[in-house]
Amino acid sequence: MVGGNGLPGPILLANKDNTAVLRTLDPDTEPTAAHEHAFQSSTHGGIKATDIAGAIFRNKDQKKGQQDITLLWFEFFGDSFTFPSTCNNRYGSHCAAAACLLMYLDKFIEFLEFIRDKKKTRTFNNMENNLYKALKCNSTLTELAVLALYAQAISHPYIWYIRTPGKDLNMLDLGPLHNEVLTHIQQIINTPDLLVGSKVSHTTGALYGQEWETPELFSTVKAMADKMPHLKQLVVVFSMEPRRHGRGSLQSSHLVELLMKQHLKRRSGLDASYQWLNEGLLGSYRQFMRFKPLASLLHFNANAVYQRNNTQAWVDRNFLEEDHRDVMRCRGTGS
């Protein structure tokens, strides 16, 4: 497979149904419409690999995946860690998974073989087979390296900056920071040796010169240089071209976000206290639904108003015995 910019593309990671269709393809005959559809609807690349890895090594459903065996197997060999959760929308989870797969590449391959060999059939299922192929595909490994390096240079320093205690930051105040992110990405585009090379340093490669979140990643990437001859080129391409899933290019997305946030701040007049209040309520709702997944939004709103208005204190000061009876009567009738 040939990818964009004339570079060799990553191996196809088809789902179970598409794999069954593509298996019937005869290389000496023209592909049918079914073959074409199976090929076009199948995906590949670093993000697909981390998604599959997360489903195997840390599935959100405890009855699926191999998360328990993964922990025990790696602990037995002296490596205790939890695979990043790629099943949710946590910021940077796929980049963290990419770094994890690269740094423990040989052990993950060995672990997949262990999973296969302990089965009665001694075969991979389709998902395991896809990940096994991906971890042996140099183009996929290169994409994983690009994701991991981007996180070291941009994502981790960005999160560190906005979460530093004592900073009274508001989402609408992040325009200057995003402009600095844009400038740093342009520096990486102009000089990819900031992330790929023999003299890589966090003082020049990371946003604000922040120390690497995972410094050992760079020695891993350096040791795999023979498998990634196009890494430097792909770092530049990743920084310049449109991102997947419709997010637009790094340059345009950050610039538009910068301008829109500054415009919104001028038009809305929102202050930091209001913004943090909303962020706090959203966070509270997330935690509330995590422990009470069957509760309704109306239930949450009523509870939030009750807490925020200090209703109980008002009731203690003003309610008479008949008021309590009236409330209980209304509650009993559902009115």
Same domain, residue pair 266 and 280: no
| pLDDT band at residue 246 using 50, 70 and 90 as cut-offs | very low
Q: How many CB atoms lie under 10 A from the CB of residue 260?
A: 12
Average per-residue pLDDT for the chain: 81
Find the range with the poorest average confidence among 212-221, 223-232, 296-305: 296-305
In a domain, 58, yes or no: no
Same domain, residue pair 246 and 291: no
Q: Give the closest residue to 142 by CA, choosing from 299, 27, 252, 8.
A: 8
Domain membership of residue 290 as a residue range: 276-333
Same domain, residue pair 281 and 263: no
Same domain, residue pair 164 and 225: yes
Same domain, residue pair 215 and 311: no
| Domain total of the chain | 2
Same domain, residue pair 251 and 313: no
In a domain, 37, yes or no: no
* Residue where a domain stops, chosen among 242, 270, 298: 270
Task: Enter the pTM of the model.
Answer: 0.71
Query: Mapping DSSP to helix (H, G, I), strand (E, B) and coil, where does residue 12 land?
Result: strand
| pLDDT band at residue 331 using 50, 70 and 90 as cut-offs | low
Tell me the mean pLDDT in the region 287-291: 78
Q: Residue 180: exposed, middle, or buried by beta-carbon count in 10 A (0-12, 13-18, 19+)?
A: middle
Residue 92, phi-psi category: left (phi > 0), alpha (psi -120 to 50), beta (remainder): left
Same domain, residue pair 183 and 264: yes
In a domain, 75, yes or no: no
Give the pLDDT of residue 328.
80
CA distance 105 to 93: 18
* Residue where a domain stops, chosen among 270, 288, 320: 270
In a domain, 149, yes or no: no
Give the pLDDT of residue 248.
38
| pLDDT band at residue 110 using 50, 70 and 90 as cut-offs | very high
Same domain, residue pair 168 and 227: yes
Same domain, residue pair 166 and 264: yes
In whole angstroms, how far apart are CA 228 and each of 88, 103, 147, 232?
29, 15, 13, 9
In whole angstroms, how far apart are CA 73 and each of 112, 113, 251, 294, 310?
11, 12, 42, 36, 51
Q: How many CB atoms lie under 10 A from the CB of residue 221?
A: 26
CA distance 297 to 302: 9
Q: Express each pLDDT in 56-80 by its tens digit.
A: 998 888 788 888 888 888 888 888 8
In a domain, 203, yes or no: yes
| pLDDT band at residue 228 using 50, 70 and 90 as cut-offs | very high
Same domain, residue pair 192 and 225: yes
In a domain, 138, yes or no: no
In a domain, 127, yes or no: no
* Residue where a domain stops, chosen among 253, 270, 287: 270
In a domain, 63, yes or no: no
